[in-house]
């Protein structure tokens, strides 16, 4: 799919522009999510959840195509890779907000821990690439692509449930028989 899409792009289209065209809608989605649910306690409006799923798919697709376009046009460079990975790092914030807009964890330690874990994983992958020359994007059968598709489906779930349904779903108490935590 992605190779075919890359082959359909015009040769004059710069790979960094492909990266930017995927990142900007994701950044807009991130800003809108923070505007509508800044504390992750209120469910997002249905159109915002659909828009977030769409921008996530667009980002994921164009992020997969930009490197193929760079190699196809002979424009691959360390600076282009830095730009791509910089946008990917910023997109991690948007990925976190996609999950939080549906799961509605509120301003808890778990929200911060989730973001810290995500950013730490991204940093460690970049550090590994720096030292080994190989960017590992998966842990076993689950990788970045599968995680992004999971987030797309999570945003579509939130959009399908709507504000009332998502609010009721997030407010439901989960009872675990062996857990006696507070």
Active site residues: 85
CA atoms within 13 A on the CB side of 92: 17
Give the C-alpha separation, 161 to 179, whole Å. Answer: 29
CA 52 to each of CA 27, 32, 37, 170: distance values in angstroms, whole numbers, following the listed order = 10, 9, 13, 19
Per the CB < 8 A criterion, the answer to whether 60 and 151 are in contact is no
The residue assigned the tokens 């675990």 is 176
CA atoms within 13 A on the CB side of 60: 19
Give the C-alpha separation, 181 to 1, whole Å. Answer: 47
The residue assigned the tokens 């998966």 is 138
Per the CB < 8 A criterion, the answer to whether 82 and 129 are in contact is no
């Amino acid at each position: 799919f992605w190779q075919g899409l890359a082959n359909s792009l015009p040769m004059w289209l710069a790979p960094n522009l492909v990266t930017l065209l995927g990142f900007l809608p994701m950044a807009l989605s991130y800003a809108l999510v923070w505007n509508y649910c800044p504390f992750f306690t209120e469910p997002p409006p249905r159109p915002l959840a659909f828009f977030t799923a769409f921008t996530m798919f667009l980002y994921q697709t164009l992020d997969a195509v930009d490197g193929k376009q760079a190699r196809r046009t002979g424009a691959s460079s360390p600076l282009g890779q830095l730009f791509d990975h910089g946008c990917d790092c910023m997109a991690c914030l948007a990925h976190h907000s996609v999950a939080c807009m549906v799961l509605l964890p509120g301003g808890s330690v778990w929200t911060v821990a989730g973001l810290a874990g995500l950013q730490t994983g991204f940093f460690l992958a970049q550090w590994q690439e720096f030292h080994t020359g190989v960017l590992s994007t998966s842990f076993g059968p689950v990788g970045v692509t599968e995680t992004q598709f999971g987030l797309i489906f999570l945003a579509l779930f939130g959009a399908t449930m709507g504000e009332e349904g998502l609010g009721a779903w997030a407010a439901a108490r989960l009872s675990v028989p062996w857990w006696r935590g507070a």
